Structure 1
Amino acid sequence: MAQIELRLNAELRTEFGKGAARRIRRDHKIPAVLYGHGTEPVHLTLPGHDTMLALKHVNAILTLDFDGKEELALAKDVQRDPIKPVIEHVDLVIVKRGEKVTVDVPVHVEGEAGPDTNVIVENGTLAVEADVLSIPELLTVSVEGLEAGSQILAKDVQLPAGATLAADEDLLVVNISQQVAAEELEDELAEAEEEAGIEKDEPAAESGDEA
């Protein structure tokens, strides 16, 4: 499924610095900067709630309405508060209809691998080049029935029409490993402890045994 286009009403920003940014956030808005295609950076204020909803869509294409004009943009960098669910700042890059962009697209694993296996996602995203209005939301990878030792590389991932792989084609995406039984895991741990010279304390004898 291609990405959707979302519209945001933005405002030109004339105040700068940490104090101005704090005031913008107190008004439930988000400071942002828009640049690209040889233009001078434009400082904007975005509506907080609508922007947070829009950026839940990975690689969402945003139509920004400001100062009587429109610009298509892609979020390049989103700075989030490490504790609170708040966006602190957004870097936006201008894009044009018909051009291609390179973006990281999430990998979605589906299906059940063979019995007694572990499915390990080594790379959760893949760099893909696609038309700006046809960016895939995700790349689906099936592990149905795959046995231990199987690997899915970037070149094995099926891409939608019009998209091309920008990542290394031999990049490991999904690895199927053998599931280790609990007994084997305990034996391996005991062996590792023995090699490291770690001695376990013997359990204390019960009082009834001492009588």
Structure 2
Amino acid sequence: MSEVKLTAETRNEFGKGAARRIRRENKVPGVLYGHGSDPVHLTLPGHDLMMALKTPNVLLSLDLDGKTELAIPKAVQRDPLKGFLEHVDLLLVKRGEKVTVEIPVHTEGDLAPGGNLLEHVLNALPVEAEATHIPETVSVSVEGLEAGASILAKDITLPNGVTLAVDEDAVVLQVLAAQAEEPAAEGAEGEESAEA
């Protein structure tokens, strides 16, 4: 798992006006909390943070007032139209500490022929992992699966040190049968013969 270094500044101004000023400077307001400590209000570099958040569950190494703190993103707010970062909540973590996160589920392979559909019941799998060793994704083979088949959480192979944080019988993926379309031509012919 990659660790991204960011320089953060503590901030004393709060509210919408202060947040707008911060965003105009291409920075993002945020809060760092956890381990029973008081929340710390931060300002983070906008572009660097945006690039870091492209990696799921990225580990952030924050240079904050001369100290280095490790954190993972807990909640990210984006502008619904433009997509830019508006605010970020970061959770303070320590090396060796276990955290519960959701990792994206990626599929590999092709379903059995027949036009069946693959439904992602869970797009992300809740797991518990060491804060410094969170896997970026988990891969699942769907090669040759037929309609009615499903993959449960317990069927997914996880890296060493990673455990499920969801019921092991929870359905993660299932294959749905292709829907047969009703022939529209028959109904139209029946109406014509009724009119005659």
TM-score in same-fold range (> 0.5) = yes
Q: How does 1:1-211 map to 2 (within 5 A)?
A: 3-116=1-114, 117-180=116-179, 184-187=180-183
Q: State how far apart, in whole Å, the 1-side matches of 2:36 and 2:117 are.
A: 48
The structure with the largest alpha-carbon Rg is 1
Q: CA deviation at 1:90?
A: 0.5
Q: CA deviation at 1:57?
A: 0.7
Q: Please give the per-residue CA displacement for 1:170-199, whole angstroms capped at 9, x wherever unaligned.
A: 11111112223xxx3225x99xxx9xxxxx
TM-score (norm 2): 0.91
Q: CA deviation at 1:55?
A: 0.7
Q: Please give the per-residue CA displacement for 1:103-136, whole angstroms capped at 9, x wherever unaligned.
A: 0110001101111122221111110001111111
Q: State how far apart, in whole Å, the 2-side matches of 1:90 and 1:119 are.
A: 33
Q: Please give the per-residue CA displacement for 1:69-88, whole angstroms capped at 9, x wherever unaligned.
A: 11000111001100012110
Structure 2 unpaired stretches of 5+: none
Q: State how far apart, in whole Å, the 2-side matches of 1:159 and 1:123 are.
A: 16
Q: State how far apart, in whole Å, the 1-side matches of 2:40 and 2:150 are.
A: 45
SS in 1 for 2:6: strand
TM-score (norm 1): 0.85
Q: Please give the per-residue CA displacement for 1:13-58, whole angstroms capped at 9, x wherever unaligned.
A: 1111110000000010000011111111111100000000001111
Runs of 4+ in structure 1 off by over 3 angstroms are: none
- RMSD over aligned Cα atoms: 1.8
Q: Percent identity?
A: 59
